Amino acid sequence: METMFGIAVDGVAYGMILFIISVGLSVTLGLMRVVNLAHGAFAMVGGYVASYAAQSAGLPYGVALVVAVALTVLATLPLERLLYRRIYGSANELAQVLLTIGLTFVIVAGINYLFGPTLKRIPLPELLTGTVELGPKAIPTHRAFVIGAGAATLLGLWWLLERTDFGIRLRAAVDDPAMAAALGIRTERLYLATFALGTGLAALGGVLGAELLPLEPYYAIRYIVLFLAVVAVGGAGSIFGSAAAALALGIVDTAGKYLIPNFGEFFFYAALILILFRWPHGFFKGRTA
C-alpha cells in the first residue's frame, strides 16, 4: 500500500540518520564508558555550520558538508582533552551526566546567540531534489541518498573495525582495557581518535538529516533522548546493534506518527520501556562490532 511503503521509506531514512548520529555515541560509550549527553549538540553544530556555509557563504552542498564535519571535529577535540578525559569510566556516571548536560546548555545558548532561534535549512543541490525511480515506486532522492549514506557508513565502520589496525586496537581496548594497555596500545590517542570519529559522524548525521531533524537551538535537547534510546536498545559499543536499533526505532516512531498520530509518542516510550525491560543490555550485548 502506498502509505505502508511511504512509512517504510521515511522510517528507514529516519532510522539511518539516527544510526549515523548515534553510532558515535555508542562507540564512545563502549570504549571510554562515557555517557555523552552533548552528542546531540555536536550533531546540531555540524548542521548549523553546513547551513551557514551553504546559505551565507554560498558553498555547494558537498563542500559545506565536508567543512561542517571538519570544523565540528576540530572544535570538539580540545573538549576531549580538557573535559571528557577527566570523566571517563563507569564510576563517574553522575559527573558525566552533569558535565555533558552543562556542555549541551552552553552550546544551545551559543547557537542561539550566533544564529537566532529560527529554523535553519540546508538548501539541497539539484541532484538531491526530485525523485528516484525504484521499479514501480518513486522515492524522494534525498531519502534515497540518506539511506545510501547510512548503508555506506555501516559498511565503512565495519571495514574500519574488522580490517584496519585502528579497528583491531579499538576492539581490543573495548574488550579489555587493562590488557590493551599492557600490550602497548596507546589508549589516549585511541580515545582521541574514537572521539573524533564519533563527533564527525554526529556532524555528518546532523547535516544529512536536516530535513528530518530540523535545525533549531533546542535540537540538542529535543533529540538526545532518541540517540540515547538507540544506544541503550542496541547495546553500547555495538555497531550492528546501533544499526538495528536505529532502524527499528526509526520505523516504530514514524509508523506511530502516521498511524496513531494522537498517541505516537506514548507508543514510542512504552515500546522503549518494554524493550529495555526485556533486554536491559540491549539487543546485542556485545562490546565489539
Partner 1 sequence: MTSVAERDGKAGTMTRPIPLGKRRDLDWIGIPLIAAVGLAAYWLLPDDLALLTRIAASALFVLSLDLVLGYGGIATLGQAAMFGTGAYAAGIVAVNWNNDPFAMLAVGGLAGGLLALVTGALILHARGLTLLMLTIAVGQIVQEVANKARDWTGGSDGLSGIDPAPVLGMFRFDMFGHTSYLFALAVLVVGLVVARRIVRSPFGLACRGVKEDPLRVSAIGGSPKAYLVVLYAVAGVFAGVAGALTAVTSGIVGLDSAGFSWSAEALVMLVLGGTGRLYGAVIGTAAFMGVHHILAANDPYHWMAFIGLFLIGIVLFLPGGIVSVAERLGGLRRGKEGGA
CB proximity list for 257: less than 8 A, separation 6 or greater: 264
What are the angstrom distances between the C-alpha of 246 and each of 145, 186, 229, 235, 250? 17, 31, 9, 11, 6
- Interaction of residue 278 with partner 1, rule CB under 8 A: no
Q: Which of 150, 268, 151 is nearest to 209 (CA)?
A: 150
Q: How far is the CB of 91 from partner 1 (least distance, A)?
A: 4
- Chosen residue from 7, 29, 43, 243 binding partner 1 by CB under 8 A: 29
Select from 167, 187, 227 the least CA-distant residue to 35.
227
Q: Could you tell me the three cell numbers for 264?
A: 505516537
Q: Shortest distance, CB of residue 175 to partner 1, whole angstroms? A: 15
Which x/- pattern, by CB under 8 A, does the window 258-277 give for partner 1? ----xx-xx--xx-xx--xx
Binding mask 66-95 for partner 1 (x = CB under 8 A): -----------------x--xx-xxxxxxx
Of 44-52, 158-166, 172-180, 229-237: span binding partner 1 (CB under 8 A): 229-237
Min separation Cβ 95 and partner 1, Å = 5
Site pattern 105..134 for partner 1 (x: CB under 8 A): xxxxxx-xx---------------------
Residue 236 binds partner 1, judged by CB under 8 A: yes
| Residue among 202, 231, 239, 244 that touches partner 1 (CB under 8 A) | 231
Residue window 184-223: x/- pattern of binding to partner 1, with contact defined by CB under 8 A: ---------------------------------x------
Residue 2 exposed, middle or buried by CB count within 10 Å (0-12, 13-18, 19+): exposed
Residue 255 in contact with partner 1, rule: CB under 8 A: no
**Alpha carbons 38 and 254: distance in angstroms, whole number:** 24
How many chain residues are in contact with partner 1, going by CB under 8 A? 47
Kindly tell me which of 101 and 185 has the beta carbon lying closer to partner 1.
Answer: 101
Residues in Cβ contact with 110 at an 8 Å cutoff, skipping those fewer than 6 apart: none
User: Least CB distance from residue 16 to partner 1, whole Å?
Assistant: 21
- Where does this chain bind partner 1 (CB under 8 A)? 29, 35, 83, 86-87, 89-95, 97-99, 101-110, 112-113, 217, 225, 228-229, 231-232, 236, 262-263, 265-266, 269-270, 272-273, 276-277, 280-282
